[in-house]
Amino acid sequence: MRTAKVAQPWAVIAAVVVAVAACSNSSSPAAASAAASAPAVSTQPSAPAEKVTVNFPYLWSGPEGDALEKVIASFNSSQTAITVKGVSSPDFQKQLASMSGSNGFDISDNFGSTVGSWASKGILEPLDDYAKADGTDMSDFVPTALQSNQYQGKTYALPIAVHTLLLMYNKKMFADAGISGPPTTMTDLQADIAKLTKADASGNITQFGMRSPDYITLAYAFGGKWYDDQGNATPDDPGNLAALHFWVDNVVKKYGADAIKKFESGYGEYASAQNPFYTGKVAMTLDGEWQPVFIKQYAPSLDWGVVAIPYPDGQQSLAGATQLTSSMFFIPKNAPHKQEAWTFLKYLTGTDAMKQFSRALGNLPARTSLLGDPVYNDLPQFNVWLDSLKSPNLRIFASLPSTAQYQKDLSDEFQLVANLTDTPEAGMAKVKANASGYSQ
């Protein structure tokens, strides 16, 4: 994840410019005359320029924080003008409060979904002028990943890692059910869920064909969209409704909302050996590229596979549809050392640093030039997620001032729809009514 060489830090360049200017002045006729008439003085070597400290509170902790600290150490040893001090501070509210004061930290991390809200409040530093000034090439970033960190035509953050959800399946459970391979179409998926779901005589589910999905991502697989081209919320888009009906009609109504809730309440912790996909409670799940690392740690004997999310029958043009989210770095508007923070941010999102960090976490790199890098070859089936970044049907949930509220409204309604309290049409109509009051 590191570029072996980084751009010369601005402080060193500035020092060189000052030195050149001083030499030029002293060699002028006026300077020479003044020097001749001036009393002789002893010259002492000038003191080295003091390093600038860049404060970097980051949200990661545990192994992720350890991986980031290695990147910080590499940067600090790569040059002599800047010292980055990183500290794990996984407190979103504290981060936001610091950005709203008169003087905050220099650089931090979050998700691309925050960009629109923060940029609209004026608390993020635009990065385009910095990139233009030193000739930074943005074209290597996965286009959708870069777009997820932009607002109203300006770039406010740069991604280091991106994430997509694909369909993971338990090969042994498929074989035991007499299923020869993973589903390709939604009809296949519907049939496989039925074959892989088991219940006892009382209707209690004992094995679930597929874990309840991320509905936003499922909607993309049906060609749905959550915003129109003008940035207006479109929760009632036909593709979104089709996705909700797929789950409600084929799963919830068939097995019962209460029975599903009861079964899901017994799921073990996600990042543990008790994850229901690892223990065989569920046969399929929509999940992310970090799973090969998790499975190696928590379920090394699991026989699993991963494929693109199935597409609706007769709509192969939707093959490969999924949602992209990004982990990014940003510079707050009130940062005391913006130029030095930019130097570090460039290093963080350069090819070497990105490769080192994303490999440690088992995340997808945000640069297209890294998609075929052999550093990821030892991660089982990771190439399937890498290939998902090349899909023409890769989608992002637009980052706008209203994004957080919109997603909360959707999440609340998804629960009501999954409980059969609201129909998909009624639920999305309620969200659309709320959306009419969103700020843009």
β-pair type (205-207, 198-199)? antiparallel
Confidence tier at 407 by pLDDT (50, 70, 90): very high
Q: Which residues pair with 169 in a beta bridge?
A: 284, 305
Q: Max alpha carbon distance in the chain (Å)?
A: 107
CATH number of 50-163+325-391: 3.40.190.10
pLDDT greater than 80 at residue 439: no
pTM recorded for the entire structure: 0.86
| Mean per-residue pLDDT, 319-343 | 97
pLDDT greater than 60 at residue 68: yes
β-pair type (205-207, 108-111)? unpaired
Residue type, 72: I
pLDDT greater than 70 at residue 108: yes
pLDDT greater than 70 at residue 117: yes
- What's residue 48's pLDDT? 56
What does the block give as tokens for 222? 């049906």
- What's residue 100's pLDDT? 85
Residues 20-49 have pLDDT tens digits of 233 333 333 333 333 333 344 444 555 556
Q: In angstroms, what is the C-alpha Rg of the chain?
A: 26
Residue range(s) in the chain whose domain bears CATH number 3.40.190.10 = 50-163+325-391, 164-323+396-435
Contacts of 211 by beta carbon, 8 Å cutoff, 6+ apart:
264, 276, 277, 282, 284, 285, 286
Pairwise CA distance, residues 320 & 310, whole Å: 8
CATH number of 164-323+396-435: 3.40.190.10
pLDDT greater than 60 at residue 307: yes
| Mean per-residue pLDDT, 346-372 | 97
pLDDT greater than 90 at residue 330: yes
| Mean per-residue pLDDT, 54-83 | 96
Share of the chain above pLDDT 70, in %: 89
| Mean per-residue pLDDT, 130-134 | 96
